[in-house]
Amino acid sequence: MAAPASDIGAFVARYRLTEGFRPYLLLTLLCLVLYAPGLASLPPMDRDEARFMQATKQMIETGDYVNIRFQEEARNKKPVGAYWLQAAAVKLTSAELTAPWAYRLPSALTTWLAVLTTFFFGRRLFGAPAGLTAGAMLATTLVVAAEAHLAKTDAALLCATTLCLAGLGSVYTEPRKQIGAALLFWSALAAGILIKGPVIVAVAGATGAALCLADRDLKWIWRLYPVAGVALLAALVAPWLLLQSSAGSGFVSASFQEDILPKLVGGQEGHGALPGTHLVLGVVTAWPWSVLAPFAVIAGWRKRAEPAVRFCLAWLAPAWIVFELVPTKLPHYTLPLMPPLMLLIAALLRDLPDLRGLLGGRWGLGWRIAWSWVCIILGVIALVAARRFGDGSVIPATMAAIIMLGAGLYGMTVLGRSGTAQAVLGVGIASFAFYVTVFGAELPRLPRLALSDRIAARAKPLMTEPVIIAGYHEPSAIFLLGTRTILSDAKGAADHLLAHPAALAVVPVAALDLVRETLAAGGRNLVRIEEFGGYNYSRGRPEHLALITTGS
């Protein structure tokens, strides 16, 4: 009888999971089952996702793939890369222009590619079992799974950064020249710039600078072929910038003034926070592997003389400090730093005596208890959301809460006692079940959070001209109801209905008396089609809206 697997390497070897195409197939199936649920059933999410979807939709409608617009307003915050990926997905799948899944497809696919790249690079650094572990952990990290379901820039940036740093890491850890790795570095750097501007430059630059300072050596940089690389970078990025310049949009200056500078000098759009916020949020964003993250960093620091570990620390720590120092903070900002964190955790799992020693101490017990409370809180949030915003069924939320309670207890007890592959695998299975339940079964069944979806479903069959909306100016409503949707106030909606008697309007129920009086003064009656109650999570307030038209 075969001995039970006592560590990750033995477990993986026992089932021959790293041979041939098996690891790629395994990770692909994992990503498919994790990310497919919810892609089509989740409504457009306000506000960033809906803005990206709408701007991409306008590119397709107008045929202008250079200028980025949201209705008539220039959207000069992020470069064009993510919009091009979304437009290509919509065109290639022949999807309806208001089908969210097509816009989200690039996020799911680029996350999948980041997972495969993490395995491929991790295999070179720490061996195939650790690489496979790191890839699976990245796929099941909370912030990664969430961004894979959203049509924004962040999943694509994760992919570009992982490819870019994999190229940089290959050049750093291998003394011989590698043209392919250098080409990968510069190409992925260009892709990242086209996706989210200077963020990837900051991460790659901080990594390279940290390595040069720690090693007191600049010679390895020449293995990146910097002169040819910068020329390639310019050749890939410059054409779109030149097209923008010729169109007179002033994208670079506008982006710096409207997006980059406000983030650097203060909390943009109310998202300011103190240094250390990302560290605290990491318990949630890196869940469930945050239970092992601090121990992996401690163990990595002890082994920082090893080039592979040294590179992962240089990728993780300096850029994390930069994100902590930037006043504007959102939970997904540290997403490009999840691959090195997962690689360090996978490397830690190779040495179980170290893991047991770190987890079994007093500090380790305290951390596991805190992590268990995070699990319980996430489960409670799932239950509360279902009861407050759901359609009456709490079965998926109850399942999610039970999964999280079990994960917390399991991680606090079994993982602390043994640290074996089975214990780690148990935590991973719990996270897998939680994501499938929440994204596939619970979130699509929260109609009180999907106001725009409900309004569009009722209004679109009746529309003969653009809808006018008073007060509820969410991007998701514009995406679903059409680019020509008019935003106004209650008085403006009433005046519009008088001028266009066949039009539809969405107004707050509290403003119906004002609209009725204005219509009556113009010889028209208010016809109430349907009312919609819900919660506007973007503004943090309840909404009670009415879809109306006029009658004689």
pLDDT in tens, 416-440: 665 566 778 888 899 999 999 999 9
Q: Is 150 within a domain?
A: yes
Q: Let me know whether 160 and 72 are in one domain.
A: yes
Residue ending a domain, choose from 245, 260, 275: 260
- Report DSSP state, residue 361: S
Question: Once rounded to an integer, what is the mean pLDDT over residues 473-487?
Answer: 97
Contacts of 458 (CB under 8 A, 6+ apart): 529, 530, 532, 547
Question: What residue numbers bound the domain in which 459 lies?
Answer: 450-551
Question: Once rounded to an integer, what is the mean pLDDT over residues 223-248?
Answer: 90
Q: Let me know whether 39 and 148 are in one domain.
A: yes
The residue that leads in pLDDT, 502 or 249, is: 502
Q: Let me know whether 64 and 175 are in one domain.
A: yes
Q: Let me know whether 421 and 475 are in one domain.
A: no
Q: Is 308 within a domain?
A: no
pLDDT, residue 425, reads: 82
The residue that leads in pLDDT, 243 or 446, is: 446
pLDDT, residue 169, reads: 96
Residue ending a domain, choose from 260, 275, 309: 260
Q: How far is CA 373 from the centre of its chain?
A: 24
pLDDT, residue 3, reads: 37
pLDDT, residue 60, reads: 97
pLDDT, residue 107, reads: 98
Dihedral angle at the C-alpha atoms of 484, 485, 488, 491, nearest 10 degrees? 100
pLDDT, residue 340, reads: 98
Residue 2: is its pLDDT beyond 50?
Answer: no
Least confident of 8-12, 229-233, 297-301, 512-516: 8-12
pLDDT, residue 466, reads: 96
pLDDT, residue 447, reads: 95
Give me the percent of the chain exceeding a pLDDT of 70: 91
pLDDT category of residue 396 using cuts at 50, 70 and 90 = very high
Q: Is 317 within a domain?
A: no
Averaged confidence pLDDT in the chain: 90
Q: Let me know whether 51 and 185 are in one domain.
A: yes
- Degrees to nearest 5, angle at CA 244 with 242 and 246: 70
Give me the percent of the chain exceeding a pLDDT of 90: 74
pLDDT, residue 226, reads: 95
CB count within 10 Å of CB 529 equals 14
Question: Once rounded to an integer, what is the mean pLDDT over residues 393-417?
Answer: 85
Q: Let me know whether 105 and 219 are in one domain.
A: yes
Q: Let me know whether 220 and 83 are in one domain.
A: yes
Q: Is 355 within a domain?
A: no
Q: Let me know whether 112 and 221 are in one domain.
A: yes
Question: Once rounded to an integer, what is the mean pLDDT over residues 43-57?
Answer: 96
Q: Let me know whether 480 and 377 are in one domain.
A: no
Residue ending a domain, choose from 231, 260, 289: 260
Q: Is 7 within a domain?
A: no
Residue with token string 């203060």: 266
pLDDT, residue 15, reads: 67
pTM: 0.93
Q: Is 132 within a domain?
A: yes
Residue 261: is its pLDDT beyond 90?
Answer: no
Q: Let me know whether 216 and 230 are in one domain.
A: yes
* CATH number, position 499: 3.40.190
pLDDT category of residue 5 using cuts at 50, 70 and 90 = very low
Q: Let me know whether 67 and 196 are in one domain.
A: yes
| Number of domains within the chain | 3
Question: Once rounded to an integer, what is the mean pLDDT over residues 516-525?
Answer: 94
pLDDT, residue 272, reads: 64
pLDDT, residue 181, reads: 95
Q: Which residues pair with 545 in a beta bridge?
A: 508, 532
232-258: burial string, b at 16+ Cβ within 10 Å, e else? bbeebbeebbeebeeeebebeeebeee
Residue 4: is its pLDDT beyond 60?
Answer: no
pLDDT, residue 6, reads: 46
Q: Let me know whether 121 and 52 are in one domain.
A: yes
Residue-wise DSSP of 329-353: --GGGGGGGHHHHHHHHHHHHT-HH
Residue 204: is its pLDDT beyond 70?
Answer: yes
The structure tokens listed for 26 are 């395994």
Cβ 511 vs Cβ 472: under 8 Å: no
pLDDT, residue 76, reads: 84
Residue 109: is its pLDDT beyond 90?
Answer: yes
Going from the C-alpha of 481 to that of each of 337, 460, 473, the distances in angstroms are: 37, 7, 12
pLDDT, residue 359, reads: 72
Q: Is 325 within a domain?
A: no
Dihedral angle at the C-alpha atoms of 56, 62, 63, 64, nearest 10 degrees? -70
Q: Is 8 within a domain?
A: no
